[in-house]
Amino acid sequence: MFRSRLALIVGLSLGSSGCWFQKAKAPRVFVPPPAKPRPAVATKVPEVPPAPDIEANPPAELPAPGDAATMPTAAAPPPPPAPRRPAPPARVVAAPPPVIVPDPPPPPPRLGQIFTADQLKEYNRNLDESLERVRKVLATVGGKTLNADLTQIVGRIQTFQKQAEQARELDLVTAVNLARRADLLAQDLIKRLP
């Protein structure tokens, strides 16, 4: 039963396919349009009219080439002008050009946070206190022999301390943060000391 239904469905689907009943159309062939005939070009050269006749008055009698008596004489050439001496060049004492000293360029504006006087005082106080505590810890540790871990911590503390001192003029907030890190590491170092 199932096979007969399946065969029926397959048979109907193949039989109802659209390609069985449609005719294939022949492809269109491109036919170019006919060429237009070109107009004929005239190749005849136009005729030029003949030149007009010009009557010229005959010149008066010309003297014979060897007859110098009848030849007019030319005027004597004018005497050449006397040579001029060039005027001596004027001596101009030129003053040396003035030395222009450019004004030094103004310092570039500093980018950073603007603090009130109280904020500035507070940041500087915190920075000084942290750096002072770090100096005291480094002074107490300076004479002791430390293991590798503690020596590495001392190196970090010194690095943060130097960075804080360098950043004080450029960025006060960064300097305070670096000094706090150095201070925290110093307090941790004191706790680890034997």
Domain boundaries, the chain: 117-192
Sign of CA dihedral 46, 50, 52, 58: positive
Q: Which CATH number, 2.60.120, 3.30.950, 3.40.1350, 1.20.1270, labels domain 117-192?
A: 1.20.1270
Query: What digits encode the pLDDT tens for the residues 60-88?
Result: 565 555 555 566 667 777 787 777 777 77
Window from 22-36, 45-59, 149-163 with minimum mean pLDDT: 45-59
Residues whose CB falls within 8 Å of the CB of residue 130, separated by 6 or more in sequence, listed in order: 164, 176, 179, 180, 182, 183
Single pTM value for the model:
0.44
